[in-house]
């Protein structure tokens, strides 16, 4: 269980790294958009080859994968809608749209984005005795653009650097706990349950990509986002193949 916590924290540490990049380098909106596009491609690859494929292998054909996908989609959609109503709808914006947003809603929204990813890390450690290198790399890489864009927007909205940094540290710790929960909660569960959880994470991540990350990337990065998204997919697939 300690390994699950450590690997979950390691994958989420890129949130803190991304926030530091935003504070020190002051990247342009176009660069941030392109980085987000690359991260989206990485996550698409992780969904296809590390989540859905793995879920299909564990499933016994009773619909666990399909149910997991749509339940994950529904939970994320509902949670995202509620958080937007509470004032966290612009949490990924790099333009300072968070100025009037609720800080608690921003934190809850970011946690909502990361918990499915983190729980899968713990689950894969339990299932295979070690974390999947490809999936861990995908989560780590995809966290960077989220933290860079959100931190840039929060700083533009007037947040103090210490406040932004501590927010990401707290979210990284929550992600580590979620990874530990993914390890501990499913120890006695049948393969169909593991398949459902993997597919649930896939559905939640796909919905997040379509609703928030990809539109924001295209808005700032333009048509070149399609190229870097494909590049991100290819890099993640290469890691998956080599792993």
Residue 109 · residue 83 · CB < 8 Å: yes
How far, in Å, CA of 90 to CA of 97, rounded? 6
pTM for the whole thing? 0.83
Provide the 3-class DSSP secondary structure of residue 203.
helix
What is the pLDDT of the chain when averaged over all its residues? 83
Mean pLDDT over 219-235 rounds to: 94
- The pLDDT, as a whole number, for residue 83 is 79
Q: Would the pLDDT of 33 be above 70?
A: yes
CA distances from 185 to 173, 180, 235 (A): 18, 9, 32
Q: Is 242 exposed, middle or buried (0-12, 13-18, 19+ CB in 10 A)?
A: exposed
Q: Would the pLDDT of 128 be above 60?
A: no
Q: CA-based Rg of the chain, rounded to a whole angstrom? A: 17
Q: Copy the structure tokens of residue 69.
A: 């996908």
Q: Would the pLDDT of 157 be above 80?
A: no
Q: Copy the structure tokens of residue 127.
A: 């299932």
- The pLDDT, as a whole number, for residue 233 is 94
How far, in Å, CA of 80 to CA of 82, rounded? 5
How far, in Å, CA of 100 to CA of 142, rounded? 26
Determine which of 92-96, 137-141, 206-210 has the lowest per-residue pLDDT on average.
Answer: 92-96
- The pLDDT, as a whole number, for residue 187 is 67
Q: Would the pLDDT of 95 be above 80?
A: no
How far, in Å, CA of 25 to CA of 49, rounded? 33
How far, in Å, CA of 226 to CA of 175, rounded? 29
CA distances from 123 to 6, 9, 99, 104, 171 (A): 13, 15, 37, 28, 19
The label of the residue with tokens 């609703």 reads 211
Structural domain harbouring 159: 2-242
- The pLDDT, as a whole number, for residue 90 is 63
Domain count along the chain: 1
Give the pLDDT band of residue 138 (cuts 50, 70, 90).
Answer: confident
Q: Would the pLDDT of 226 be above 90?
A: yes
Give the pLDDT band of residue 236 (cuts 50, 70, 90).
Answer: confident
Mention every residue, 6+ apart, whose C-beta is less than 8 A from residue 133: 239, 243
Give rounded-to-5 percent helix, strand, coil for the chain: 85, 0, 15
Mean pLDDT over 177-185 rounds to: 83
Q: Would the pLDDT of 213 be above 60?
A: yes
Q: Is 162 exposed, middle or buried (0-12, 13-18, 19+ CB in 10 A)?
A: exposed
Mean pLDDT over 6-22 rounds to: 90
**Between 149 and 223, residue with greater pLDDT:** 223
**Between 127 and 155, residue with greater pLDDT:** 155
């Amino acid at each position: 269980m300690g390994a699950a916590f450590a690997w979950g924290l390691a994958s989420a540490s890129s949130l803190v790294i991304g926030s530091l990049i935003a504070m020190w380098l002051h990247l342009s909106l176009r660069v941030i958009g392109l980085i987000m596009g690359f991260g989206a491609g990485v996550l698409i690859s992780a969904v296809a080859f590390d989540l859905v494929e793995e879920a299909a292998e564990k499933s016994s054909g009773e619909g666990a994968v399909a149910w997991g996908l749509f339940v994950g989609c529904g939970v994320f959609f509902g949670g995202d809608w509620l958080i937007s109503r509470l004032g966290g709808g612009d949490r990924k914006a790099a333009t300072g749209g968070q100025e009037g947003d609720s800080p608690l809603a921003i934190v809850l929204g970011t946690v909502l984005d990361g918990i499915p990813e983190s729980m899968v890390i713990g689950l894969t450690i339990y299932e295979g005795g070690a974390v999947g290198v490809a999936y861990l790399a995908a989560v780590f890489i995809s966290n960077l653009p989220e933290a860079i864009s959100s931190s840039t927007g929060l700083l533009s909205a007037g947040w103090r650097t210490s406040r932004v940094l501590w927010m990401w540290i707290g979210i990284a710790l929550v992600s580590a706990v979620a990874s530990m929960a993914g390890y501990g909660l499913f120890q006695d569960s049948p393969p169909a349950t593991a398949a459902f959880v993997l597919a649930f994470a896939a559905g939640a991540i796909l919905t997040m990509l379509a609703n928030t990350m990809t539109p924001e990337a295209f808005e700032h990065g333009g048509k070149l986002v399609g190229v870097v998204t494909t590049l991100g997919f290819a890099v993640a697939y290469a890691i998956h193949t080599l792993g």
